[in-house]
Chain A
Amino acid sequence: MIAGMDAAEMGRRGGRSRSAAKRAAAQRNGARGGRPRDVDVLARRGREVCALLAAELPGVDPGDLRLIVRCLLLPPARRAVFVSRRNDGRYVF
């Protein structure tokens, strides 16, 4: 750690860097498939949490548990699903 520099400043310096070492590291990570997609992260985390809870909550249906955990992993605004009636009488989500 660089003495007298906080983590935010170190992050800013790292982000600004255009070094050959950083470029090489980014290419290595890219070759491995790069950063996992958000949907993959959400799915993996959901599986992990469900595996953890399934034994502790045997009364909860596994399908329901998956839905609940998925909802809880999403940011609150993305948890909402309103059923809205259009003027033509059809319903949309």
Chain B
Amino acid sequence: MSSDISEKTLVALAKALRAVKLEAIVIGNCASMLNGAPVTTQDIDLLIRHTRTNRRKLARFADEIGGSVPMPVSELSTVEWIEGRLAVPVEIHYDRISGGLTFSSVRSRAQIVAVGNEKLRVAALVDVIRSKQAAGRPKDRAVLPILRDTLAVKKRLGDAL
């Protein structure tokens, strides 16, 4: 099942990123979905470079989606989240994610995916799997079998779809 709300959310996200020229990679389960895995999620995870310029762009991005200033998820984490007008909150990860994956390495394998008239840079499924494996939280482990199956199907099909 897919919904109009979800599609509009992705288009609004891509539009806001483009408007502020913030280079971000969609990671996490949102990336899994865009890679064809039949999963759902309650947030959108973005990976960006931690620079002063990007901090400014991020504040403008939060404005674009009618959101709060980015707030830390917890005192122990560098991850921040923005609650805005999108259907789900946006989580911001800086420079690297679990599995020893840096922004550059994830970017090198990421794909540009069209959503409506907009575009999003989406992490490769293999990177999502690697980061979830490394994170090892129960919610990550729960989703790994279907992500691995999706990767196997995609490999078999190659460019056929």
A57 touches B33 (CB 8 A): no
A68 touches B6 (CB 8 A): no
For A59, list chain B residues within 8 Å (CB): 149, 152
Bound complex: CA A61 to CA B30 (Å): 23
Cross-chain contact of A80 among B2, B114, B149, B150 (Cβ < 8 A): B2
Task: Decide yes or no whether A79 CB sits under 8 A from chain B.
Answer: yes
Segment 1-37 of B: residues with Cβ below 8 Å from A: 1-3, 5-7, 9-11, 30, 33-34, 36-37
Task: Decide yes or no whether B143 CB sits under 8 A from chain A.
Answer: no
A67 touches B34 (CB 8 A): no
B142 to chain A, nearest CB (A): 14
Task: Decide yes or no whether B78 CB sits under 8 A from chain A.
Answer: no
Task: Decide yes or no whether B88 CB sits under 8 A from chain A.
Answer: yes
Interface size range on B against A: 35 or more
B55 to chain A, nearest CB (A): 26
Which of A2-10, A13-21, A29-37, A69-77 lies at the binding interface? A69-77
Bound complex: CA A70 to CA B161 (Å): 11
Which of B38-46, B95-103, B129-137 lies at the binding interface? B38-46
Residues of A within 8 A of B (CB): 49, 53, 56-57, 59-61, 64-65, 67-85, 92-93
A-B contact pairs, 15 of them (CB 8 A): A53-B156, A56-B156, A59-B152, A60-B152, A60-B153, A65-B149, A69-B153, A70-B38, A72-B150, A76-B115, A77-B7, A77-B114, A78-B2, A81-B6, A83-B88
